[in-house]
Amino acid sequence: MQRQRQIGPFTVPAIGLGCMNLSHAYGTPPPPEQGERVLLAALDAGVTLFDTAALYGFGANEELVGRVLQPHRQQITLCSKGGMAGVKGEDGVTRRVIDGRPAALRRNCEDSLRRLRTDVIDLYYLHRWD
């Protein structure tokens, strides 16, 4: 039996899947189809804790996670982070912005809910202090 951990009201496996590298960092991310296969393989292997963030791929990671995991939403614990996100500047270039103010977190969370295709993010936390 897999070890379990308590995170607030959630009992989750000790091992979850951090989804960042499916859309962000560590070199060129894999194509979305490969990311989808990784997420589904994780589900098949019994992973029920998935962690993403508004920053990862400037929202692309949450879109991938939302699209693939929406049909399984009741079986998973979904985590995301705000306070650090991609913001399009006046020059049209999207850049990482660290902003932990309440209004920015609310905007990040609303954007994340839409991208994740859910009305609840089980664990939502501050990505980085500003």
pLDDT tens readout for residues 91-119: 999 999 999 999 999 999 999 999 999 99
Whole-prediction pTM value?
A: 0.92
* Catalytic residue positions, numbered: 56
**Of 56, 48, 63, the residue nearest 17 (C-alpha):** 48
CATH of the domain at 8: 3.20.20.100
- Asked if 119 and 66 count as a contact pair (C-beta separation under 8 A), the reply is no
pLDDT digits (tens, 9 = 90+) for 1-52: 578 999 889 999 899 999 999 998 888 999 999 999 999 999 999 999 999 9
Provide CB contacts within 8 A for 75, sequence distance 6+: 43, 48
Distance of CA 69 to the CA centre of its chain: 11
Distances (CA, A) of 110 to 7, 26, 31, 64, 93: 22, 27, 26, 17, 22
Angle at Cα 120 formed by Cα 71 and Cα 5, nearest 5°? 85
Structural domain count of the chain: 1
What H or E segment, with its residue span, contains residue 111? helix 102-116
Q: Which range of residues forms the domain containing residue 30?
A: 4-126
